[in-house]
Structure 1
Amino acid sequence: MDSDERLLHSSSFGAAAAAYAAHRPDYAQAAVRWALESAPGPRVLDLGAGTGKLTATLAALGADVIAVEPDPAMLAELRRALPAVRALPGSAEAIPLPDASVDAVLAGNAMHWFDMAVAGPEISRVLAPGGTLAGLWNVLDDHVEWVAGLARVGGSAAIGPRDTPASWRAVTADMHLPKAGAAARFGSPEQAGFPHGQRRTADSLVATLATRAGMLVMPEQEREAALGRIGAFLSSRPETADGEFTLPMLTAVLRVRRLGYSSAA
């Protein structure tokens, strides 16, 4: 998508901040540990932190975490949920932290919104030498038959190009990371996926998918029609029609290590 469309989508979440906080999943702890395993220290920036889904996992693992989020409504939800965490207004393109002040920068379901031409040097600037940059995405396990059917019925607005394992690997293989060069010196990227799950009902899964950017920017009539199709599909499946079920997911991680300092960073 072009820069205007990316801005429209990335700025859509504030209007649904409370629903985002209520329905979006957390991240598999094993995935977060893998993202951080080569970081030189415990100082972690959760960049584009939203309502604090990844922030909470980092805090639970004992990281010294700082959260940065550009949307005031999302930031307010984060501060309400995690009052002990330092949470600052800011963005990937203007990070309100000193040079070399963190050992890792993590982004949960957010890195695809960054303008890496600007954010890459900023991330490089705040990372200590040897620090880690990692993006994490919760993706649906479409190896499960009913989940594959949900992906077909939901369409790209609800289940987009980063929302299933195979498409996530292809889309992130050479995207969403700073390019090697004077201003952002990073090594080769690595990808991994970790099993995760979320307890849901049909209604709460519809509410979760309604917080996707593609759904939020839809005209209301189209959005309601799309959510209606998803609800009808879930009601028709024995796995999801009655009561709670586990939505099978993976927390997928793309990580890269900062190689060293640059005077241009």
Structure 2
Amino acid sequence: MTTGEEQRKHAQAGSFGAAADAYERGRPPYPPEAVAWLVPEHATTVVDLGAGTGKLTRALCAPGRAVVAVEPSAGMREQFSQVLPNVPVMEGTGESIPLPDSSVDALVCAQAWHWVDPERAVPEVARVLRRGGRLSLVWNLRDVSVPWVAELDRILRDYAAAPTEDRQVEQVGTLFGLVERQDFHWCHPMTAEGVMAMVASRSYVITLDSASRNELMGRVRDLLDAERPTTMPYTTECYRAELGQL
């Protein structure tokens, strides 16, 4: 990665706090069947790493389970606390998790593992997990096999440089056992305003200059006016691996 790419990625990673409200309004939840696959039934302590506004956290909460959120952005933590006032949210990153050694059963990272430095984050996750604990990674991806969604992505690419598609899953390394994968296909009910908020919450849109961002949003609005979608099709891409099970 060149210095310019590194600077762009750093700017994008730090941009979310400025659009926390749009993130909350526009980002989808996670399907229950995916969450059940990601988190072991026996897990009593679960960390949501890079929790954002708590989109995944809500699905992680269950009777008898303690959930702790870790989020680097102050703006996101503020929005999180408004939505989930009873769930603790701490400042931290994948490379510096503010929890004791061997203290959690599972750590889930949604839409965020591509932002971490795996050489530092993998041993840090292993540190806070109990032996046999699970690291789970998940992304909600728009289904571009649907024509209007493909057109939406084409418009975005005209203006914005999306972050790398490298999930860094293969860099989980020898501390963990076999990485398993499962995909879940589903549709999320969504209004045009919700789609607009989703677009506005993307890091590579937040960091555009205002003229380009306004032009982009205008083209997205024209597409939505023409298509009038009521749902957004998603593929939820899930990975899991267990610590110390080699």
Judge same fold: TM > 0.5, yes or no.
yes
Q: How far is 1:22 from its partner?
A: 2.1
- CA displacement 1:64-96 (0-9 Å, x = unmatched): 211011111111111111111121111111111
Hey, what's the Cα distance between the residues in 1 that align with 2:104 and 2:224?
Answer: 43
Report if aligned partners of 1:158, 1:212 keep a CA contact under 8 Å in 2: no
- State the distance in 1 between where 2:240 and 2:159 align: 26
Question: 1:233, CA displacement in angstroms?
Answer: 1.6
Alignment length (residue pairs): 243
Give a deviation string over 1:110-168, Cα, whole Å, max 9, x none. Answer: 11111112111110100111111111111111222222222222227669478xxxxx6
- Residue matched to 1:165: none
Q: Which of the numbers 87, 90, 109 marks the counterpart of 1:88?
A: 90
The aligned counterpart of 2:154 is 152
Task: Indicate the SS of the match to 1:53.
Answer: coil
Cα root mean square deviation, aligned: 2.3
Q: Is the contact made by 2:46 and 2:65 (CA closer than 8 Å) also made in structure 1?
A: yes
5+ long unaligned stretches in structure 2: none
Alpha-carbon distance change, 223 to 31 in structure 1, aligned in 2, over 3 angstroms: same
**2:173 alignment partner in structure 1:** 180
In 2, Cα distance between equivalents of 1:157 and 1:25: 23
Report the residue type matching 1:153 in the other structure: I
Instruction: Give 1:252's match in structure 2, choosing from 226, 234, 237.
Output: 237
Task: List structure 1 runs of 4+ shifted beyond 3 angstroms.
Answer: 60-63, 156-162, 176-179
Q: Is the 8 A contact 1:158 1:210 kept in 2?
A: no
Residue 207 of structure 1 is matched in structure 2 by 197
TM-score by length of 2: 0.89
Q: State the Cα distance separating 1:53 from its structure 2 match.
A: 0.8
- Pick from 123, 126, 129 the counterpart of residue 127 of structure 1: 129
* Residues 4, 159 of structure 1: alpha-carbon distance in 2 compared, 3 angstrom cutoff: closer
> Is the CA contact 2:177–2:245 (under 8 Å) kept in the aligned structure 1?
no
Q: Give the corresponding residue for 1:234.
A: 224
Structure 1 residue 235: deviation in Å?
1.7
